[in-house]
Amino acid sequence: MSDFEPVVVVFACDYCAYTAADVAGRMNLSYPTGVRILRVPCTGKVEPLYIMQALQKGADGVMVAGCLVGDCHFKNGNLRAAARVKRVQTMLDDIGIGGERVAMVNVSAGQGAKFAEIATEFSKKIGEMGPNPIKQGAKAAA
Amino acid sequence: MNQENSQRTSNSVLVLGGGIAGIKASYDLAEAGRQVYLLEKKPALGGFLPLLDRQFPTNDCNICYLSPDADKAGGARTVQAMPLTKLVSLEGQAGDFNAKVLTSPRFINVDRCNACGACLAACPQGAISFTPGLDTNSPTCLRYPQATPQAFAIDMSKCDRCGECIKVCAPEAIDLDQKEVEQSLEVGSVVLASGGELWDPAPMEEWYGHGRFPDVLTSLEFEQLMSAAGPTGGKFQRPSDGRHPKRIGWIQCAGSRTTKEGGNSYCSSICCMISMKEAIWAMEHFEKDLEATVFFMDMRPMGKDYELYYQRAKNELGVNFVRCRPHTVDYKEETGDLRMSYVDDHGSLGEVDLDLVVLGVGFCAASDAQEQAAVLGIELGSHHFVKADELAPVSTTRPGVYACGMALGPQDIPGSLTQASAAGCMASADLAAPRALRREDDLPKEKDFSGQDPRIGVFFVDWGRVVQEVVDSKTVEEATAKLDGVVHVERLELSYGQDGLAALEKAIGEHKINRVVVAGYSPRTHGRIFAEAIRKAGLNRAYLEMANIREQDALVHHDDPKAATDKAVTLVRTAVAGVRQAKPTPSLTLPFNPDAVVVGGGVAGMSAALGLAGQGGKVYLVERSRELGGLANQLARTLDGRPVAPELAELVEKVKANPNIEILTDTLVVDHKGQVGSFITGVQTGPGMFYRQINHGVTILATGARRYEPTEYLYGQDPKVMTQLEMEKLLASGEGGDALDTVVMIQCVGSRNDDNPTCGRICCRSAVKNALWIKEQKPDAQVFVLYRDMRMPFTSEDAYRQAREEGVLFVRYSPDAPPRVSKDGDTMEVIFKDHILDRELSVEPSALVLSVPQIAADEDTEELCEIFRLQQGPGGFLLEDHPKVKPVDTPAPGVFAAGSVLAPASLAEARTQGLAAAGRALTMVSQMSLVLDTPVAKVNGDRCAACLICVRTCPYGIPYINADGYSEIDPAQCLGCGVCAAECPAQAIQLPGYEDDRMLSRTEALLEGVL
């Protein structure tokens, strides 16, 4: 499993995490290439369905990246997102995919270094967990 | 500002100098509806910026970040760029000037020239010049010299009319008989932005060897050596023998901070940052094992958070720093090495062998500064820079003439841009009331594509070296062309001014494109610009999707080009999948309220209020305390040593007397809602906490900082221990007496440490100011200043020298061995180590003065950020939109910031930023209406069960159940967060751009091939 490079989908809030990812770029930092970012207006827009679809389509992990607690541009969208992530985690544990494949993280717009660090850490963790079991199912079916 | 009796009928401004400061002032004014004549002596605009390969602290090339601004509002149409033109005379007065300008012939007809370069090759005398620069009429950037069609010119002093160039010029563009043209322009005010010049090391050839040894370069020459368009084509080779340099030394203060003949006595302020940037860039991009060493006297990273950049260079990136006084550079024939000798911190001689030496040279006033000052009728200050005061930092001695950028002194880009916006604001006040603009009226009608299949155009914009050296563009282009719905793929090289975007508009028309993907920039920085560009081509702004190839691919995956290329393909595919399903968003036109709220009544806030008053609507100046003036109330003298109180009182009086300003003291901002053009801010006033709401269109935040309350060095435990501000008070009272006998000052108390890694920026200058004042009151006083780096930018270096001459002793301490203070009864003892003597000294001070920084008013700033939905940066200060190019804008449209809420600021900086924020706000206030086309949530009534979940979920309480029994959302109020859409159990609510099926398509495209 040493050459397994996980694919991580990040739903990143435009006001903080998406900007932090831009800042990470401008600071010439790096994180694994498997980290792929989708922009959302607020993590409050991230529906459980989006997370499930990402896993269904083969992502090994999903991060929902919103503003720091108390700093949501839309007051509390990030808290709603956190609650949804928790629900999704329970479901994933129930069906044997593992709730830990999904995480809610919080970074502010200026925290480019923190974004890179979180993305790297999460990717590493997913790497240790191994590929999304759905992939094997899909391969077996094919 | 404007004179009482002036006519104020003109709507035009003359801007002298086409560097970045002049360009910024011009575009701010144009955006605010003003006519601008932008004069540049050289054949092309640009100044220094296009000569730089990279800019700190982002180490990016910011031309591309600045340039599209020029196009954004279509304001560019009211800027008339006049290259090869100079001012000959200026008559009249503020509000009503007559300017005579003279345009030299270019001898090349720019309308015909296609920049083939044949003339350049054919000319035997070398009379054809190619000036790397920016031309608002053409895309131009040094790194893309091939895209500089209109920057060729003929130097007649070298031409002998042999006619060779005429023979080879296919489009017949050469006209050797062109004559100079004089014109007379009526303008209301003038902005001087004529820049400075790089110091020429020739007079110090003896020391530095520049000119004698080919491997001794100036910082600018080194910059070109690293540039893809430079003399080596981007190969990292030293000039003498092409050897790949492994050891490079940067010599700081080359020609600066010296009283030697041919040098400058002042500090050029920005060279430390330039050298660090070059060292980091060279290490990261050319030679990982590079031995990069900066030889310096004091490191002076002076701008906001620049100290963090220095710490990163030193502690994380492995740049070596050697504190010393470099003196001679020699060449060793046998090895081909350069040998640099220096005197180190302990006074011993040192030597080092290097492959390449880079001189961190400073900047001087323009060589024609005196001539130009005479034409303008303004006075120059020291060193031939324009004379300005702490509290009138962008004004010259002639009313109606303002200055910005390096004309005022050496300056970094954010400083230049801030001054440019400030000068623009002042210049605008001398003009007639601005004409209201109606932008949407000038745009073509939106085309209707309903029922048509997607025809997607994908544009690879500005894939300069940053992207190209990581991502293989050919692979990405080929993969893109195969995607479903893509009908056109094109590279657009740089979009300075109109042309880059004009090419986009043209392609849309030619290929009948109905959806656009821009691959390159982040939607955060460039989304708006490209949305406007496609709108100009008749497409709804929603028919755009951006693939962020720079920040989220090339820049973060520079060590893995293969994977970065694959990821670029993926990101473009995702954007194409998303845009395929795009639907037009109807735009909504709302009236724009020209009133403004300024929060904070200090120098920055008052300056902003005065800048805006009379140029738009009414200004509400909200101050939490009972008095205006802020931190400046506690200052006795300015950094240049003049009394603060009279000038501050004058400023306060002006604010109080202005009929367009309503002052609300004792008032707190408690809530804020709405969007640019129609904000509603709630305030509470007085002990009764009387609540009222203010309707306004723009907001300026200038709530300031607070002073660090020291816990170190027995502060608060002994009356002898005080802060610089308390010493200043003592000096102002004239009752210092014996306390001034032996004064020890300790610098960097509460800054540049683990708790607060940033630099206080102005504490060194305050210390020198007070040290000189002590010497003035008591010439035999003994004054010690214990410091880490003396950070004395520009002419404050002269004050530092004066203090040393007057006997103030400056002793450096290391952070590992800070001074120790102890107390025994009434006797206090300070023990510190003298590096030159290499032994400990002990002093019994009559006063111990601590230099403490302004720090972020953390809780207040946090609350402010919460109310205005903004972010705090490192150190807790307010985070600006972009540290380099948008220094007084915030990420929230219509909200600007100024003064020490952004970073510790001097009076001059607070005043400049206040005016700059007002200048930026004026670009919006001039609009008569605001067009809203950001996506807002839409309810499908047929699916709605009126379950009230959206009503309860919306953070702003906007949805309601209408008379037809289903949920309705007011598009003028909705901010588009999408929370209701996410929660709606019937999926009756969708947020355009993020519809469920569209998100799924993006997810599928993003993960294609993974399963």
Q: How many domains does chain A have?
A: 1
Say whether the peptide bond before residue B57 is cis (omega within 30 degrees of 0): yes
Angstrom distances, CA of residue B697 to CA of B621, B679, B691, B746: 14, 6, 20, 46
CB contact under 8 A, B982 and A109: no
Chain A residues in contact with B568 (beta carbon < 8 A): none
Question: Hey, is the C-beta of A86 within 8 angstroms of any chain B C-beta?
Answer: no
- Options 3.30.470.20, 3.30.70.20, 1.20.200.10, 3.40.470.10; which CATH number does B936-991 get? 3.30.70.20
> What's the pLDDT at B6?
44
Instruction: Identify whether the C-beta of residue B228 lies closer than 8 Å to the C-beta of residue B465.
Output: yes
Interface membership of B447 toward A (CB under 8 Å): no
B596-706+856-926 shares the fold of B1-103+185-195+366-435? yes
- Model pLDDT, residue B495: 43
A18, A27, A46: residue with CB nearest B524: A18
The chain A residue lying nearest B934, using CA atoms, is A41
For the domain spanning B440-588, the CATH number is 3.40.50
Any chain A CB within 8 A of the CB of B559?
Answer: yes
Q: For the segment A85-125, what is each residue's pLDDT rounded down to a tens digit? A: 999 999 999 999 999 999 999 988 777 888 999 999 999 99
What three-state secondary structure class fits B1002? helix
Residue B9 touches partner A, C-beta closer than 8 Å: no
Q: Please indicate if any CB of chain A lies within 8 Å of the CB of B978.
A: yes
Does residue A1 lie in a domain region?
no
Token pair listed for A102: 């999904």
Gyration radius from chain A CA atoms: 15
Contact A18 B574 (CB under 8 A): no
Q: Say if the Cβ atoms of B556 and A25 lie within 8 Å.
A: yes
**Confidence at residue B146, expressed as pLDDT on a 0 to 100 scale:** 28
Q: Report the percent of chain A where pLDDT is more than 70.
A: 96
- Please report which helix (H) or strand (E) contains residue B271, including its range: helix B271-285
State which amino acid sits at residue B511.
Answer: H
Q: Which stretch of DSSP H or E encloses residue B129?
A: strand B128-130
Distance CA B57, CA B62 (A): 11
Taking a C-beta distance cutoff of 8 angstroms, is the pair B890, B884 a contact?
A: no
Q: For residue B586, what is the DSSP state?
A: P
Which CATH number do you get for residue A26?
A: 3.40.50
**Contact A33/B59, CB-based, under 8 Å?**
no
> How far is A138 from chain B, CA to nearest CA, in Å?
7
A13, A29, A33, A43: best to mutate for the B interface, most B CBs within 10 A: A33
- Distance of alpha carbon A96 from alpha carbon A90, whole angstroms: 10
A33–B564: do the CB atoms touch at under 8 Å?
yes
CB pairs < 8 Å spanning A and B:
149
Tell me which chain A residue has its CA closest to the CA of residue B978. A45
| The pLDDT of residue B68 | 44
Q: Is there a domain that residue A99 lies in?
A: yes
DSSP B753-790: SSS--S--SSHHHHHHHHHHHHHHH-TT-EEEEEESS-
Cβ contacts of residue B919 below 8 Å, gap of 6+?
B28, B32, B421, B422, B423, B424, B425, B428, B611
Instruction: Report how far residue B712's alpha carbon sits from residue B749's, in angstroms, rounded to the nearest whole number.
Output: 7
Q: Which CATH class is domain B197-363?
A: alpha beta
Query: Which residue, chain included where needed, has tokens 């503003």?
Result: A67
Architecture of domain B596-706+856-926: 3-Layer(bba) Sandwich (3.50)
Mutate to test the interface with B, among A7, A8, A16, A39 (most CBs of B within 10 A): A39
Residues 6+ apart with CB under 8 A from B984: B949, B950
Q: How far apart are CA B918 and CA B130, in angstroms?
A: 38
Residues of A in contact with B522 (CB under 8 A): 22, 25
Strand B938-939, strand B989-990: pairing? antiparallel
Residue from B800, B900, B792, B907 nearest B853 by CA: B900
- Three-class DSSP labels, chain A: CCCCCCCEEEEEECCCHHHHHHHHHHCCCCCCCCEEEEEECCHHHCCHHHHHHHHHCCCCEEEEEECCCCCECCECHHHHHHHHHHHHHHHHHHCCCCHHHEEEEECCCCCHHHHHHHHHHHHHHHHHHCCCHHHHHHHHHC
Q: Where are the beta strands (DSSP E) in B431-581?
A: 456-461, 486-492, 515-519, 544-547
Residues 118-147 of B with CB under 8 A from A: none
Contact criterion met (CB below 8 Å) for B236 and B244: yes
The encoded tokens of residue B378 equal: 């303004």
* Chain A interface test: which of B308, B549, B565, B871 (most A C-beta within 10 Å): B871
Q: Measured between beta carbons, which residues in chain B are less than 8 angstroms from residue A59?
A: 1007, 1010
Instruction: Report the pLDDT value the prediction gives residue B70, as an integer from 0 to 100.
Output: 45
Query: Quick one: how many helices (H) and strands (E) in chain B?
Result: 25, 47
Evaluate whether residue A133 is within a structural domain: yes
Among A57, A115, A136, the strongest candidate for a mutation testing the B interface, having the largest count of B CBs within 10 A, is A57
Given the structure tokens 């506690």, which residue do they identify? B634
Looking at the partner chain, which of B58, B59, B556 has a beta carbon nearest the beta carbon of A30? B556
What angle do helix axes B996-1006 and A48-56 make, rounded to 10 degrees? 30
Residue B523 forms contact with A (CB below 8 Å): yes
Q: Which residue has the tokens 């404007």?
A: B2
Taking the Cβ of residue A105 and every Cβ of chain B, the question of whether any pair is shorter than 8 Å is answered with: no
Instruction: Closest CB to B1002: pick one of A31, A38, A109.
Output: A38
Of B898, B703, B876, the residue nearest B305 (C-alpha): B876
Q: What is the pLDDT of residue B135?
A: 35
> Does B1007 lie at the interface with A, CB-CB under 8 angstroms?
yes
Which superfamily, per CATH, for B709-852? FAD/NAD(P)-binding domain (3.50.50.60)
> Which residues of A fall within a CB distance of 8 Å from B1010?
7, 57-59, 135
Say if CB B443 and CB B302 are below 8 A apart: no
Instruction: Give the domain extent around A47.
Output: 8-141
Question: Cβ–Cβ of B1003/A54 closer than 8 Å?
Answer: yes
Instruction: For residue B1003, give the chain A residue with the closest CA.
Output: A54
B469 contact A CB<8A: no
Query: Any idea which residue has 């990420």 for tokens?
Result: B891
Does A38 touch chain B if contact means CB atoms closer than 8 Å? yes
Residue A81 lies in a domain: yes
Measure CB to CB from residue B979 to each of A30, A45, A54 and give the nearest one: A45
Cβ distance B891 to A37 less than 8 Å, yes or no, reads no
Helix (H) or strand (E) holding B576: helix B561-580
Q: Does A69 touch chain B (CB under 8 A)?
A: no
pLDDT band at residue A137, thresholds of 50, 70 and 90?
confident
Identify whether the C-beta of residue B240 lies closer than 8 Å to the C-beta of residue B268.
no
Q: Note whether B871 contacts A108, CB cutoff 8 Å.
A: yes
Q: Is A18 on the interface with B (CB under 8 A)?
A: yes
Tokens representing residue B410 in the block: 């050496």
The C-alpha atoms of residue B503 and residue B315 are separated, in whole angstroms, by: 45
Interface test with A, best of B288, B308, B556 (most A CBs within 10 A): B556
User: Residue type at B549?
Assistant: I
| Single pTM value for the model | 0.76
User: What distance separates the 2 farthest-apart alpha carbons in chain B?
Assistant: 94
Contact at CB, B977 and A41, closer than 8 angstroms = yes
Give a three-class secondary structure readout of B49-104.
HHHCCCECCCCECCHHHHHHHHHHCCHHHHEEEECCEEEEEEEEECCEEEEEEEEC
Q: Starting at the edge strand that comes first in sequence, how are the strands of the sheet with B85-93 ordered? A: B85-93, B96-103, B181-187
Mean pLDDT of A131-136: 90
Does the beta carbon of A29 lie under 8 angstroms from any beta carbon of chain B?
yes
| Parts of chain B with a pLDDT under 50 | 1-6, 64, 67-75, 132-150, 495-498
Name the class of domain B1-103+185-195+366-435.
Answer: alpha beta
Q: Does A21 touch chain B (CB under 8 A)?
A: yes
Which of residues 254 through 293 in chain B touch A, CB cutoff 8 A? 284
Instruction: Write the CB contacts of A106 (distance below 8 Å, at least 6 apart in sequence).
Output: A16, A65, A66, A67, A68, A69, A78
DSSP secondary structure letters along B417-463? HHHHHHHHHHHHHTSSPPPPB-SGGGSPPPPP-TTPPP-EEEEEE--
Q: Where are the domains of chain B?
A: 1-103+185-195+366-435, 197-363, 440-588, 596-706+856-926, 709-852, 936-991
A137 touches chain B (CB under 8 A): no
Q: CA B25, CA B402: separation in Å to the nearest integer?
A: 11
Helix (H, G, I), strand (E, B) or coil at B511: coil
Q: How far apart are CA B916 and CA B896, in angstroms?
A: 9
Q: Which amino acid is at B789?
A: D
- Residue B236 makes CB contacts below 8 A (sequence gap 6+) with B225, B226, B244, B245, B282, B286, B287
Q: How near does any CA of chain B get to the CA of A89, in Å?
A: 18
